[in-house]
Structures are given as structure tokens and as C-alpha cells.
Structure 1
Amino acid sequence: MRDIPVNTRPLDGPPPRIDGPEGATDCHIHVYIEGHAPQPGGPPIAELATPDDYVVVQRRLGLTRVVITQSNAYQFDNGATITGLKAIGAETARGVVVVGPDTTDAELAEYHTLGVRGARVMNLPGGAVGIDGMAEVEARIRGLGWHLMVQFDGREIERHRRALEAIRTDYIIDHTGKFLAPVPADDPRVDTLLRLIDRGNAWFKVAGLYETSRTGAPDFADVAPIARRVIAHAPERVIWGSNWPHVGVARENYPDDAVLLDNLAAMADEATRRRILIDNPATLYGFA
């Protein structure tokens, strides 16, 4: 008997309008795999979401490479992420794990060999490591050349600015800045975000617009302008992720992955999209 139901989310459908060129990368998915149980402190797992499930989504979108991000449900247990990496292979997959006080140097070395290139910092409910633990994590990963993937309520960016400025490795400002109540693109807090990017080690991930948008699909008109402003300002520092399998979203509001990819067409021209989907992820994640 399965403890967690198999996936019932829609995986296939009409392709996106824009082509996914060879080497195009989805920089943010999660996997939920049989035999890996949710951990105390994290959210429950409603359904499995396996590497085989994602292959269907990936094929539909015309993408080639993927970054598996440790789910909050698993907290400090990176087992499912590592299982997913092994299933897909380091030629086309990378990983972002959670690094805790009990993570050994030997584990970090093994993770690196398997394709891990980042550590997750989640300063929102359910996160395993918050910004208060970020400096300790950075010290552990710096020698490996990994980056930090940092998610927080963008409305609090000034509160976290000094901690972000102190980061010496590369780091990603996750989920389109994750302004939990959308703000205009010319908001002073977006100005702060751009200044952080201009320091040279911050990246910006366009992902999860549906999580914070009040106006909704297909345009996410209250959130997308922030992404457009960042892309226009620093296209060389932007990556994209689907955030599949969109956990925590009611089925009636479940986003269409093709629509999420097509949002880039309204944000960037073809040359810039290639940069976001291919060149920038190759630089950050070390894809050949």
C-alpha cells in the first residue's frame, strides 16, 4: 500500500507558443518520490511527483535541462532530491539541497559529484533554514563553488539587505522576489533588488508568479512587470523556473506550465529568452 497517492496532476497538453531551444533549462522543480516521507516541520505531501512524471512535462515544454530543488516537505532529508538527481543524471540535471548542522563534509562532496550546486534558504513558514542560518550555510558551501537559493517576502527586502550584501558566493533571489502582496515595478523595494543584482553576485529567478498574483493567469499583470524590469536591467543575471508540481495550489487554480513558459515571450525578445533559458543557467549550474 502506498502511503502517498500517485500523481493526478495534469502533465501533458498543448505545447507552448515559444520553442524550447536545445539546452533550455527549468531552474526550479521539486520531486516527491515513493519511499521518502515528509519530515516534521514541513508541509504534508498530497501526491507523488516523480522524475518520470516530470519527463512528460519537460517533453511538452521542449526543455532539456532541469534543476531539482529540495522541497520544504523534506526539511533536512535530501534523499528524494538525490534520488531524483540519480534518476535523471548529472549530464542534464542539477540539484539544490538543504545544508544543516548535521550535514557532513563527505555528504557535501558526494552531493557535488551527483550534480548539486546550491543550498536552499527559505525564510518563510515551512522552510528548513532561514536567513538567520544563511551565513553558516554559506561558509560550508563556499569552497565547493555552490550558490545560495534565497526566498523571502520581497516586501521585507530592506530588513534582509545587509545579510544579502554580506554573501560572498553567488545567490539567487527566488520566485520573482516573492512579494507576498504585489507591488508596482517602480516600488523602492524593487530598486533595492536591482542594487543587489548590480553588486555582481545576485541572480534573479522568474518563477511562481501565480503564487503571489492577485490578477491571475495568463498574464499575471500585477507581478510580471517586476520580472520585466529586472530582465531589462540585467538580462545576464536572470533564470527561469516552472516551480512544478505547483504544490499548495488548489486544483481549480492549477497553473498551465505552457502558459508559464510563454510568459517569457511577453517579458523578453528571442535573444534574451535564449540567454535566460540556456546561457545563464549554464553559467550558474555548470552545464557543458
Structure 2
Amino acid sequence: MCTPPQATVADYRRLQQRIGTKRTVVVTLSNYGTDNRCTLDAIDQLGLRSARGVAVIDESFTTAQLKDLDQAGIRGIRFNLTRPGGAGAELIRPLATRIAPLGWHVQIHMTAEGILENLYNLSDLPTDLVIDHMGRLPGTAGTTHPSYEAITRLIDQGKTWVKLSGVYHESHDGPPAYTDRAAIGTAFARYAPERMLWGSDWPHPTASRGEVPMPDDAAMLDMFATWVPKLQDRKRILVDNPDRLYRF
């Protein structure tokens, strides 16, 4: 584990006991650039039976290195365009082409405006696309923001997933209910439950930096249940969809 670790596998296992989850997707934090050692170490500690990862790469990675990452449990690459670190938007399409033979996906963390600005880079990729944190749609605009329609059009292409996570991002109403952003999560879940994923975003690096209040993970999972009242849709989002995307 990285030194000094701010969040350990032991800490995460305690969280899993609290909220009842069994599987994990570890995502390389943008602060590490393209250094994926912490992610790989966490997957190794958790075990490949229950853990997968999303890495950050750039054009310097060789085919052999990508195959090694695949063997270690990596199933996608991430672009965080909300802060410096890792590859830029201009590499989305070239790197998507590189990873497509591995069956990986592209995960993007962008603001709602950033998604609109990068639609060319996001449409018709040779891989699946995962949109972090409900596209960071601002709570003040909700589903009237033009990015909502843009994301639903991407969903309709059949290869885009939306993470029902990070409800605290862009929320004007704030905790505990995050009413404005919760309405966005409900809308996405109703639109296409077969294209939704859920994630805790633990250990909440944004909150750790003081940008938002630290959320309660159990409350976040309870909130998700209110967005998705049908048990069959919850199973689809929590179990079946991750099975397909991450190949557990």
C-alpha cells in the first residue's frame, strides 16, 4: 500500500461489513498520474475473485504493459478532466482504440459542461463508456441541463453506462437528502436501469480535501434504494451490470 496510506484495505473491509457489499472496483486517483501501483496493490490484497480496477494510462504504455494490467484485474481506463493529472481529452479516442482488444472501457469524470464540449471524443467509441457521478449535472439545473439529454443520447447508443454515485457533487441543497441531485439519480435510474452502475466513491477524496461535507456511505446506499424502488432493478444495477462490465 502507498506510504503513508490515508485509506487502507483493512479500512475498506470494515466499510464493506457495514454496508454489506462483497465486490470492489478500485480506481486510480488522478493525483497519482499514471502510477497505478496503489490500485494494483489493493486488487492483490482484496483478491481477483472479488476485485477489479480502473487504471490511468497515457500513450507511453506498451501493449505488453496493458496485457499485464489486464492479468492483474484492470478492466478500464479513467480520464479525470475536472483537475490536472493523467491523460487529456485528446487521448480518449486514441487510447480507447488501444484498449478495445482487451475488452476494457473508458471511464470519464467531467463536469456537465465538459461533457458537452467533448461529445466528439465520447460518441461512437470502440469501447464501452462509463460516466462518473451522474455526469456532474448541477443540482440547480437538474435534468433541464443540456448535458442530461446528451448523456441519454449516449445511453441510447447502447454502450454507455452512468454511475449513480457522488450525489454530493454539484448539490445546492446539500446533506442529508441532497434533494436536487437525488432527483437526477432517480431520473437516470428510471431512464435506463440496464445501463446504470452504483459506486460508493469511498474514501471520498473530494470530501477529504474539504470541498464537500464527508458523506455517510450507508446513507448513500439507502438513498440509492429510494431512487430504484424495484428490487429487480436494484439487483440489475448492483449485481448484473457490474458482472457484465467488469467481468467478475
How would you bin the TM-score normalised by the shorter chain? Answer: over 0.9
Show the counterpart of 2:12.
54
Provide the C-alpha distance between the structure 1 equivalents of 2:206 and 2:132, rounded to a whole number of angstroms. 17
The residue correspondences of 1:168-183 to structure 2 (distance < 5 A) are 168-180=126-138, 182-183=140-141
Q: 1:244 is matched with which residue?
A: 202
Taking a change above 3 Å as real, the CA distance of residues 118 and 251 of structure 1, as seen in their structure-2 partners, is closer
Cα distance in 1 for residues equivalent to 2:169 and 2:146: 22
Change (3 A) 1:229 1:251: closer
d(CA) in 2 for partners of 1:182, 1:167? 30
Q: Secondary structure at the match of 2:21?
A: coil
> For 1:18-57, what per-residue CA distance to the aligned partner results, in whole angstroms no more than 9, with x for missing partners?
xxxxxxxxxxxxxxx3347xxxxxxxxxx61111110000
Q: What is the distance in 2 between the residues matched to 1:251 and 1:150?
A: 20
Cα 1:106–1:182 change in 2 (3 A) is: farther
Residues 244/76 of structure 1: CA separation in 2 closer, same or farther (3 Å cut) = same
Q: Which residue of 2 aligns with 1:161?
A: 119
Shift of the 176–252 alpha-carbon distance from structure 1 to 2, 3 Å rule, reads closer
Counterpart amino acid of residue 34 in structure 1: C
Matched, 1:268 2:236: no
1:183–1:223 contact (8 Å) kept in structure 2: no
Letter in 2 for 1:246: H
Q: Give the match for residue 34 of structure 1.
A: 2
Within 2, Cα distance between the matches of 1:79 and 1:252? 27
Q: How many residues align?
A: 245
Match for 1:284 among 216, 240, 245?
245
- How far is 1:199 from its partner? 0.4
SS in 1 for 2:142: coil
Q: Which residue of 1 aligns with 2:58?
A: 100
Deviation at 1:180, TM superposition (A): 5.0
What's the TM-score once normalised by structure 2's chain length? 0.93
Indicate how the Cα distance of structure 1 residues 155 and 181 shifts in structure 2: closer, same or farther if over 3 A, else same: farther
Per the TM alignment, residue 126 of structure 1 is displaced from its structure 2 partner at its CA by 2.4
| Superposed displacement of residue 156, structure 1 | 3.5
Q: Distance in 1 between matches of 2:138 and 2:60?
A: 32
Q: Partners in 2 of 1:154 and 1:127 — Cα distance?
A: 19
Instruction: Write the mapping of 1:193-204 to structure 2, written as runs, cut at 5 A.
Output: 193-204=151-162
Q: 1:282 to 1:182 in 2, by over 3 A?
A: farther
Aligned partners of 2:211 and 2:98: how far apart in 1? 39
Q: Does structure 1 conserve the Cα–Cα contact (< 8 Å) formed by 2:139 and 2:180?
A: no
- The CA deviation at 1:212 is 1.8
Q: Residues 185-234 of structure 1: CA distance to partner in whole angstroms, max 9, x if unpaired?
A: 23332111111100011000011111221211222111121211111111
User: Any unmatched runs of 5+ in structure 1?
Assistant: 1-32, 37-46
Deviation at 1:175, TM superposition (A): 0.9
TM-score by length of 1: 0.81
Give me the whole-angstrom Cα distance separating, in 1, the residues matched to 2:105 and 2:219.
Answer: 28
Q: Secondary structure at the match of 2:169?
A: helix
- Residue 101 of structure 1: SS of its match in structure 2? coil
Matches of 1:154 and 1:92, distance apart in 2 = 32
Please point out which of 194, 216, 235 is paired with 1:256. Answer: 216
Cα distance in 2 for partners of 1:193, 1:103 equals: 30
* 2:38 corresponds to 1:80: yes
Shift of 1:182: 4.0
More helix as a share of residues = 2
Aligned to 2:184, what secondary structure does the other structure show? helix
Deviates more, 1:79-88 or 1:125-134: 125-134
Is there any run of 5+ residues in structure 2 with no aligned partner, and where?
none
- Taking only aligned residues, the RMSD between alpha carbons, in angstroms, comes to 1.7
Per mean C-alpha deviation after superposition, the further-off stretch among 185-194 and 65-74 is 185-194
1:87 deviates by: 0.7
Q: Contact 2:100 / 2:127 at 8 angstroms: preserved in 1?
A: yes
Question: After TM superposition, where is structure 1 displaced by more than 6 Å over at least 4 residues in a row?
Answer: none
